[in-house]
Amino acid sequence: MKIVLLAPPGSGKGTQAKMLADKYGIPHISTGDILRDNIRAKTELGVEVGSYMEKGELVPDGVLVEMIRGRLLHPDYASGFLLDGYPRTLPQADELSKILNERRNRLDAVLYIDVPDDVLIKRLSGRRMCTCRASYHLLFNPPERDGICDHCGKKLYQRDDDREEAIKTRLEIYKQRTQPLISYYAKEGIMLTVNGAAEISEVFTRICRLFDD
């Protein structure tokens, strides 16, 4: 199977991707992992990516496309993959089609994990951090004492990008850039949608039903 996974931040996309890759025996290709691998290996593309990330800038589409092409055209991925984090825009989707056409391949399915904004905000805003690098979530793994780290006893803090207003901005950017892909892939007849507003195991069960039917 050749699958693209689409989902907003806070949807649990990464967790579901790994579980699906294990169940169906297909490689999980994470755009974030590819970027980090290239940066660690100090490849030519990795050095370029690092320069953008150090300045807080978005990695240009052209650089991402070359990284994705290098991974997808590798023989290990000829029989299938689960692509997580790419494409995120319509131009990237067009480039992905071109890459697959180079091997006379096409996507089998695009899975969209749909989660309401209020649920996403609750999930994302619940994270709390400590200077000792421990992390917690007020809903899923809260500290034993409210606002205090279990490991070092220091006061926990909330990152600026985990605050509600910042999250709303992230979600708005996501909708503008990524949601048009839903219509794009629906026209190709390969769009699958699952309700992601549930426990991890339940969402996974729902996804498997879609693929097993």
Relative orientation angle of helices 117-125 and 164-177, to the nearest 10 degrees: 130
What is the CATH T-level fold of the domain 2-115+177-212, as seen in this structure?
Answer: Rossmann fold (3.40.50)
Asked if 39 and 67 touch (Cβ cutoff 8 Å), the reply is no
pLDDT at 56 over 80: no
Distance from C-alpha of 68 to C-alpha of 138, rounded to nearest angstrom: 36
Residue 57 has pLDDT above 80, yes or no: no
Q: Give, in order, the Cα–Cα distances in Å from 103 to each of 34, 69, 72.
A: 21, 11, 9
User: Residue 36 to residues 11, 133, 162, 196: CA-CA distances in angstroms?
Assistant: 22, 20, 22, 27
Using a pLDDT cut of 90, give the percent of the chain over it. 53
Structure tokens at 208: 């498997």
Weakest mean pLDDT among 40-54, 73-87, 150-164, 176-190: 40-54
- Give the catalytic positions in this structure: 13, 88, 127, 159, 170
For 112-143, the pLDDT digits (tens) are 999 999 999 999 999 999 999 899 999 889 99
